[in-house]
Amino acid sequence: ACSTVGGPAGQSAAPDTGGGEGPKVAFVSQVEGVPYFSAFKEGAEKTAQSLGMSYTQAGPSTADATEQLRIFNSLVQQGYDAIAVSPLDPRSMNPAIAAARRKGIVVITSDADAPDSERQVFVQQASDAALGATVMDEIAKAMGGTGEYGIVSGAADTQTFNSWVAEARKRQESTYPALELVGGVRYTTDTAQALKEAQDLMTAYPDLKAIIAVPSTAVPGVAQAVQNAGKAGKVAVSGFGSPRTARTYVESGVMTSTVLWDVPNLGVLTVWAMKQLLDGKEFAAKNTVPGLKDPVEYSAATTTLVMGPPMVFTKANIAQYDY
C-alpha cells in the first residue's frame, strides 16, 4: 500500500548498482501520497516504462523541507541517474542539487522551481500568473463582478501558494476593481482548520460572496464549511483542488469549479525531460512529447518547459478525471 516504493517489482528491494536495465530515475514530491502526486506518479511511471527506465517517487510525510532534503540525498546516495524534485524550499535545495550535479546526476525541477540552483531545466505545469488569473476569473464570474471575497491559503511559508495568491490578487486589482478581499489571507495547515477559518470568515463578513481555497487540503474544508452553513450557492467556492478532492462538492453545487492542470501529463513530461537530458539531447523551442497532445514550449532564457494553460474542472467534465 506504500506509494513511494516504485519501480518494477523486485527491483527496488535489491537494487543492483551495476544497473542492468537502463537508467534509474526518481521524483521527489512535496508530500507523499496525496492524490495529486499519486496522479503525477501514474503518468510518470507509464512513461518511464515505455522509455526503458525504472522510476521511483518519494516525498516527506508532511511538507517539511529538511525531510525533503534527506530524501533527495538518499536518492543521490543510491546512485540514481536522474532526479526530478519539486522543492518545498528552493534555497535549501540548492547546495544538494549542486552536489548531485557534481556526481554527474541529471537534476531537474518539476511542479515547483529552484531558480537559483544548478538544475538543468524546470518543468512547469502552467505559469503562476495564468493559474492565479484563472481562479480569479472563475470567482469573479460566480460573484457577478462585485462584492466581498476571502482567501483561505495553506502554510504561510509555502512559496507556490503565496505566488498563486499574489497573482490572483493582481488580477483582481487590475480587472475586477469592484471586488474586495476581506479578512486578509487566512493561513491554514489542514482541512479542519480551513473549515474553521472559512466558517469564521462567513460569520465575520455576513455579505461574503466567495472564497478561494488555495491548497488541496483547504478545498474540502472550505467547501464543507459553506455546506454546513447552508450557504451553498450563496457563497461561491473555487480553488486549486485536484478533481477527485473537489468532485463531491462540484457535483453538489457547493463549488463552482476547481482549477488545476493535467497532473498525469506533468509526470509524463517530467520523465521525458529527464530522458532527453540523460541522452544528452537539447530541447527545441517546440517539442513533441510522446503521450502529450499539444507540443511543449521551451524557453531557453529561463530554461523552462511549460506544459500549457491551466484546466478548469466543472460539473460538466470533472467526472472524467480520476486524480
Partner 1 sequence: MTTTTVPSAFAPSARMLVLLRNALLPILLVAEVIFFTVAAPGFLSAANLANVVINSADLALLAAGVTLVVLLAGIDVSVGPMLGVVAWVGATLFVAGMPPPLVVVISVLLGGALGAINGGLVVGGRISPIITTLGTAAIFKTVLFILWDSTDVFAGPVVPALGPARAGGVPLVGLVVLAVFGVLAYVLRHRVFGRRLFAIGNDAEGARLLGVPVGRTSFAAYVLVGALVGVAALIYVGRVGVVQATAGNELTLPAIAAVVVGGTSILGGEGGVLRTLGGLAFIALLQNGVVLMGVPPLWNGVLVGAAVALAVAFDVLTRRTLDKRIGAKK
Partner 2 sequence: MTTGALPRRSLRDRVSDRRVFLAVLVVALGALMSLLSPYFLEVGNLLAMTQYGAVIGLLALGQSLVILGGRGGIDLSVGSALSLSGIVMGLLAQNLGLSPWLAALVTVAFGALLGSVNGFMVARLGLPPLIVTLSTLFLYGALAQVLTHGGQLGGFGREGFAALGQSAILGVPAQVLLVLAPMFALAIWAQNRTALGRRLHQIGTSDRAAALAGIDVNKLRFRLYCASGALAALGAVVTNAWLLTARPSAGTGMELQAITIAVLGGIHIFGGRGHLSGVLLALAVVVVLSWGLQLAQVGNSVQTGILGLVLVGAALLNNLIGRRASG
User: What is the closest distance, in whole angstroms, from the C-beta atom of residue 43 to partner 1 in the complex?
Assistant: 15
Q: Tell me: does residue 166 bind partner 2 (CB under 8 A).
A: no
| Beta strand residue intervals within 214-254, DSSP E | 236-239
| Binding-residue total with partner 2 (CB under 8 A) | 38
| Grid cell in block for residue 2 | 506504500
Give yes or no for a contact between 149 and 211, defined as CB atoms under 8 angstroms apart: yes
At 64, the amino acid letter reads: D
Residue 125 partner contact from partner 1, partner 2, none using kind-dependent CB cut-offs of 5 to 8 Å? none
Q: Tell me: does residue 74 bind partner 2 (CB under 8 A).
A: yes
Residues 19-48 contacting partner 1, CB under 8 A: 33-35, 38
Sole binder of partner 1 in the list 86, 109, 158, 217 (CB under 8 A): 217
Give yes or no for a contact between 103 and 72, defined as CB atoms under 8 angstroms apart: no
| Grid cell in block for residue 51 | 522509455
Q: Is 119 exposed, middle or buried (0-12, 13-18, 19+ CB in 10 A)?
A: buried
| Grid cell in block for residue 160 | 507556490
Residues 70-99 contacting partner 1, CB under 8 A: none
Sole binder of partner 2 in the list 35, 42, 50, 64 (CB under 8 A): 64
Closest by CA to 286, choosing from 270, 273, 297, 274, is 297
Site string for partner 2, 287-316 (x = CB under 8 A): ------------------------------
Residues 6 or more apart whose Cβ sits within 8 Å of residue 111: 29, 30, 40, 86, 123, 125, 266, 270
Query: Which helix (H) or strand (E) covers residue 286, if one does?
Result: strand 286-287
| Binding-residue total with partner 1 (CB under 8 A) | 40
Q: Tell me: does residue 215 bind partner 2 (CB under 8 A).
A: no
Q: Tell me: does residue 192 bind partner 1 (CB under 8 A).
A: yes
Residues 6 or more apart whose Cβ sits within 8 Å of residue 157: none
CA angle centred on 146, ends 144 and 147, rounded to 5°: 120
Q: 101 vs 141, which CB is nearer to partner 2?
A: 101
Give the footprint of partner 2 on this chain (CB under 8 A): 2-5, 12, 15, 17, 32-33, 56, 58-62, 64-67, 69-71, 73-74, 77-79, 89, 91-92, 94-95, 155-157, 159, 162, 187
Give the footprint of partner 1 on this chain (CB under 8 A): 1-3, 33-35, 38, 61-62, 156, 183-187, 189-193, 195-197, 199-201, 203-204, 206, 217, 220-221, 223-224, 227-229, 244-245, 248
